[in-house]
């Protein structure tokens, strides 16, 4: 069924007048196969593991196209890195500053804060676009502050 998910994404791409190529399929497969949170670089690595002939720039351009088509989104994690995942997968992210782990948490958790910012400041916050940094349980146990 993950194969089906891949085809669905590619179908949308095709509908919009885009073309489906080996590289693009490989990028989508990589995103479907992993639970998400892969940095662009990781996508490149994973794609090239199966398709050494697919160039890195193709991966970057594919991610861009997929995002433009609304099929994929990226989330910023701390130090400039971004993680990519299929759209619709609207989980929120926590990123551990120590071990780098990115954890998914259910959506809705920040609704209250977002509402508050909207009402008090007119600011439309999109917390799903970033990973909230901090220290995960495992790391804080390993080395308490």
49, 120, 121, 144 from 35: Cα distances, Å: 18, 36, 35, 29
Which of 100, 106, 105 minimizes the C-alpha distance to 42? 100
Q: What is the Cα–Cα distance from 130 to 108, expressed in whole angstroms? A: 14
The first and second tokens of residue 71, run together, are 């099929």
**Residues making contact with a second copy (CB under 8 A):** 76, 78-80, 94, 96-97, 103, 105, 109-110, 112-113, 116-117, 121-127, 129-130, 132-137, 140
Contact between residue 72 and residue 38 where contact means Cβ atoms under 8 Å apart: no
Q: CB-wise, 26 or 108, nearer to DNA? A: 26
Binding to DNA by CB under 7 A, coded x per residue (else -) over 46-75, reads: -------xxxxxx-xxx-xx----------
Residue 36 touching DNA (CB under 7 A): no
The first and second tokens of residue 82, run together, are 């971004």
Residue 130 touching DNA (CB under 7 A): no
Q: CB-wise, 42 or 114, nearer to DNA? A: 42
Residue 14 touching DNA (CB under 7 A): yes
Which does residue 132 bind out of DNA, a second copy, none, counting CB within 5 to 8 angstroms by kind?
a second copy
Length of the chain equals 145
The first and second tokens of residue 110, run together, are 């920040």
Q: Which residues bind DNA (CB under 7 A)?
A: 13-14, 17-24, 39-41, 53-58, 60-62, 64-65, 81-82
């Amino acid at each position: 069924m993950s194969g089906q998910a891949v085809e669905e994404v590619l179908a949308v791409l095709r509908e919009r007048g885009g073309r489906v190529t080996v590289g693009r399929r490989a990028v989508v497969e990589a995103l479907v196969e992993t639970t998400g949170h892969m940095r662009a670089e990781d996508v490149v690595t994973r794609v090239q593991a199966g398709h050494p002939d697919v160039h890195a720039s193709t991966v970057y351009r594919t991610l861009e196209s997929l995002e433009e088509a609304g099929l994929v989104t990226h989330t910023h994690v701390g130090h400039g890195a971004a993680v990519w995942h299929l759209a619709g997968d609207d989980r929120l992210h926590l990123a551990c500053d120590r071990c780098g782990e990115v954890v998914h948490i259910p959506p809705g958790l920040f609704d209250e804060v977002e509402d508050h910012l909207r009402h008090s400041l007119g600011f439309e916050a999109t917390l799903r676009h970033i990973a909230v940094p901090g220290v995960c349980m495992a790391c804080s146990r390993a080395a308490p502050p």
